[in-house]
Structure 1
Amino acid sequence: MTSIVFNIGFSSEYVIKALTYRGVQGVNKVLLVTALAKDELSKKRNEDAINAILNYLNVVGIKNVKVLSVDVDTTFNKILLQLSEELGKIDDDIEFYLIGGMRILLLSLYYIAQILCKIKKVKVIAFDESMRTSYELLLSIPKIPTTPSQMELLKALSRRQSVAEISKNLNKSESTIIKQIESLGELIDCEKSGKTRECETAILGKVILNLIRGD
């Protein structure tokens, strides 16, 4: 089963659109995360949005719903602590939909998700402004190359090559090349065609090359 976490502000529209996009199959619980309102107008607008969402969830058959109001007038670490106290009670896989509300809560939920992915299955989804395009966000920072030979291999694999070709071009044994490829993990994409293994620098590998090009 899956629990879904939504960050909400003064609008119910984004939650309803996101849940319509996803569907309710396999959903055990919904957690609505919102900033603790500090004035009556904000409180009223927030309550109206929450009530509209609760009505929609009731219509689609989701009864297990929790609203978490977070005090954001504090440090980032203390915001994380408030979130962790509620998220730590969830045994399900978790999907985070970062779609509305305060930016600091969006960032806090994304950070919490990066921690949680080491513990359980986690997915983080964001949308464009029109809610027509969704993006599944990465949850881990890739391993940064630490040796000249790793950097050399990343640069050499700007085009797809077989292990034999790489070995010849870099004047290294195939076993050495394979070990270096494995050490770079997700920075290298490899496919096997019959007995031939072909590899190329992955998009994340190219991102890292761009960022450390000045070194």
Structure 2
Amino acid sequence: MDPQFFLQIGSVLGWIGLCLLPLFLLPLLTLVVPGLVEPVSKWLYKGIDRITDGAAAISIFTAICLLGFQLAAVIAAYAFGLSWTWLSELVVYAFAATFMIGACVALRDNAHVRVDILRPRFGETGRNWIELVGIYLLLFPICVRILQTGEQGLARTWLLFEGSRESDGLPLLFLFKTLVPIFAVLMISQGLSEALKAALRLTGKLAPADEAEAEVHYGA
């Protein structure tokens, strides 16, 4: 396949990313002029959270697949003395998809393990400021760096439709490697949602009732 095809796709995605850059200023604008951008901020974070609902469904499906693949591998190995590389790779792929796609769900639901010492000692206002600073100084730069460093490798693996190095493996390694930029994009989008929520809380524009309603919706 022509390498220019993948370069053109990368160029288009790059321009889309540049066009979306102003969205990252929206949480900061919410702090400065909350009355002006409040409707847009609420609409955007709710839309992102709905996308994360889809990621949650995919993650649940891959987790069920992981259980099935692993069970089949164990039964085949210990009951019949059989082993297949492709089945072992399916276990790895399902495991990776579950966590790489589900990471944004954990971010939305505040389920990530936090190792900071100071955050619990602050009040609600302090925690929201820490959330904003952490997202802008840590989450966004790291995920953007992941996208930048993986661009050439991703184009190469798709160009070759890279498969397993084992003769009886799956020809799907290019899809496996694509999970890395998907993870970064999902985390960036959900990070933007969390930053918007923190900014809305700091300006008093996000009532507890709104968050409770959202939790009921996402839980359903």
Query: Structure 1 length normalisation: TM-score?
Result: 0.22
Bigger Cα Rg? 1
> With CA pairs under 8 Å and 6+ residues apart, which has the higher RCO, 1 or 2?
2
Give the helix-richer structure, 1 or 2.
Answer: 2
Query: Structure 2 length normalisation: TM-score?
Result: 0.22
Give the strand-richer structure, 1 or 2.
Answer: 1
